[in-house]
Structure 1
Amino acid sequence: MGGVTEPVLDLRPPANLVCRRAVLFWTTRAALGWVLPLVSELLWLVFGGGTAPVVVLVVTAVLAVAHLVVMPQWRYRVHRWETTDQVVYTQSGWFNQERRIAPVSRIQTVDTERGPLERLFGLANLTVTTASARGPVHIHGLDHDTAQRLAAELATRTQATVGDAT
């Protein structure tokens, strides 16, 4: 049969890592999440006494340290992104890792978002909304200037692409 050969997609990991400052951001955000449990257990130890609060506090502290050491580095190695004239390609996840490829012709909106902690670290998040039931494509932990530049580039490419993004 002499059919048309479909191009093969190269499903290698996307080329670009997120900003290195994202590691410190993720560490800080995670540390803030451990404050309440550790302070609560410390208060239990001080006012309740006994050995149970000591054991619980030690286990929580070990888990917190492991989380703060492993998670940010792991996320940094996994979270990647890349754009071409045709697609936005992302990889994210921790245990469950996901790769998403969104055709530029399907892009409807491109947004940047920065919370107070992201602003403190000079970071931004990019959201590319497509005509997909799977939902938007997110790139977290970008340098603010990179996110702004990428948003402008994608908006320009989307305008230049033939199609109705539906």
Structure 2
Amino acid sequence: MEAQVRLRPPTNMVDPRAKRYWMAGEAISNGVVTLVLGLLAFLIEPARPWLLLALGVALLIGIPYMIIMPIWRFRVHRWEITEDAVYTRSGWLWQEWRIAPMSRIQTVDTKRGPLEQAYRLSRVTVTTASAAGPLTIKGLDHEVAADLAEKLTEVTQANRGDAT
């Protein structure tokens, strides 16, 4: 008989470097928007006041977002692996809590983009047959992610469910 799995807060936090990683990602995004608006304002004189206004609004919104969002996300993002399930909580304003019973796991993947590599971080994606899509744990130390993927593979191999 399969153990009952219920929604509960996961216990593990992501790596503290995730805050700097998320902040760097937002700084890059904001920098691109600022650069494009500034360049357009320089090149298109008739539209310059409107483009500079848009640039100011982008900075007024973008800079506080770049600072506040990573701190809040770090407080929200959690994960946990038990013998019965994978638990995740993620999001910022809209938070998502997910559970994947071990018997439903189909694949486990790790992924590291260039910015994640610079911060020595990875993400682990757990794919199930759920219509809601895979569970993703972002902001893990790359060694923790590799160990987690290995452990999940071992546990799911030992727990032969129908994975559908």
Per the normalisation by structure 1, the TM-score is: 0.87
Cα distance in 1 between the residues matched to 2:111 and 2:9: 24
Q: Deviations over 1:104-140 (max 9, x none)?
A: 1111111101111111110001011112222211111
- The separation in 2 between residues aligned to 1:12 and 1:102, in whole angstroms, is 12
Count of residues in Structure 1 that have an aligned counterpart in Structure 2: 160
Q: Partners in 2 of 1:127 and 1:44 — Cα distance?
A: 39
**Offset of residue 75 of structure 1:** 1.1
For residue 58 of structure 1, report the CA deviation from its aligned partner.
2.2
1:44 Cα deviation after fit: 4.2
State how 1:63-82 maps to structure 2 within 5 Å.
63-82=61-80
1:35-61 CA distance string (max 9 Å, x none): 222112323444538644443332221
Q: Secondary structure at the match of 1:164?
A: coil
1:30 is aligned with what amino acid?
E
In the alignment, what sits opposite 1:108? 106
1:12 has 2:29 as partner: no
- Partner deviation per Cα, 1:50-75 (whole Å, 9 max, x = no partner): 64444333222111111111111111
CA distance in 2, matches of 1:8, 1:46: 59
Equivalent pair of 2:5/2:101 in contact (CA under 8 Å) = no
Give the RMSD, CA atoms, in angstroms: 2.0
Larger radius of gyration: 1
* TM-score under structure 2 length normalisation: 0.88
Structure 2 gaps of 5+ residues are: none
Aligned residues with identical type, % of pairs: 47
The aligned counterpart of 2:87 is 89
For 1:43, which of 26, 39, 43 is the aligned residue?
A: 39
Aligned amino acid, residue 96 of structure 2: E
Q: Residue 30 of structure 1: which of 14, 26, 35 is its match?
A: 26
